[in-house]
Chains A and B, each alone.
Chain A
């Protein structure tokens, strides 16, 4: 079983739609959680960190469920510019606390 798994996608949604991505992780000792965004042929960039209490940044909401080892990302009112691959990232805390494990990514295409 992979350490971090994501919805395989791709997700093709119309502008204005709400879309949710799911991510599960296998290591219960995982310490920190992130969503990164990667545009085609570009490097990943941090979208948001994910906190136990859940957090929101504009149209984006991230949730963490430690008991179920599950992370989600909700995008409301999708824009064309949201088209990208979304990477779920988990720091499993070993190796001097710097073991970031990346999910394979979920590709989103927002259509006009």
Chain B
């Protein structure tokens, strides 16, 4: 059974803290993605990676960075968390071809106080 896991389901942080969100997939997928989901806005792409150490900006990369040191792991970093980064964060992975479905992790609900 394919699996994408995320390090936390719920996270509460304070403004200015550095936040790490971890995502691991066990399907040997080339692509990994980080989205945030907000009511009325749908899912928006923050960053994606198509290979180890490779990353591409999505629609809303400001305030975020990513790291992919191993194929199975993709980390999202909030260098200095702000209240407008309170959101649901979803990680996904897929095979290289754009016709392939994405598999999502269960999400991390981050609250920044």
Q: Which of B42, B105, B107 is close to A102, meaning CB atoms less than 8 Å apart?
A: B42
Q: CA A42 – CA B6 in complex, angstroms?
A: 13
Q: CA A29 – CA B44 in complex, angstroms?
A: 19
Residues of A with C-beta under 8 A to B112: none
Report yes or no: A93 in contact with B104, Cβ–Cβ below 8 A: no
Give min CB distance, A33 to chain B, whole Å.
10
Say yes or no for A72: interface residue by CB 8 A criterion: no
Say yes or no for A111: interface residue by CB 8 A criterion: no
By size class, the interface of chain A is: 20 to 34
Q: CA A44 – CA B40 in complex, angstroms?
A: 16
- One digit per residue, 1 when the CB lies within 8 angstroms of any chain A CB and 0 when it does not, for chain B 98-113 equals 1101101111000000
Query: Which of A42, A44, A97 counts the most B-chain CB atoms under 10 A from its CB?
Result: A44
Interface residues of B in 15-49 (CB under 8 A from A): 31, 33, 35, 40-45, 48
> Size of chain B's interface in residues, with CB distance under 8 A?
24
- One digit per residue, 1 when the CB lies within 8 angstroms of any chain B CB and 0 when it does not, for chain A 17-57 equals 00000000000000110100000001111100100000000
Q: CA A42 – CA B37 in complex, angstroms?
A: 12
Q: Which of A49, A91, A96 is close to B56, meaning CB atoms less than 8 Å apart?
A: A96
Interface residues of A in 68-112 (CB under 8 A from B): 87, 91, 93, 95-100, 102-105
Report yes or no: B42 in contact with A98, Cβ–Cβ below 8 A: no
Give min CB distance, A31 to chain B, whole Å.
6
Q: CA A98 – CA B56 in complex, angstroms?
A: 10
Give min CB distance, A112 to chain B, whole Å.
27
Say yes or no for B50: interface residue by CB 8 A criterion: yes
- Which are the 5 A-B pairs with shortest beta-carbon distances? A43-B104, A97-B98, A102-B43, A46-B101, A104-B42
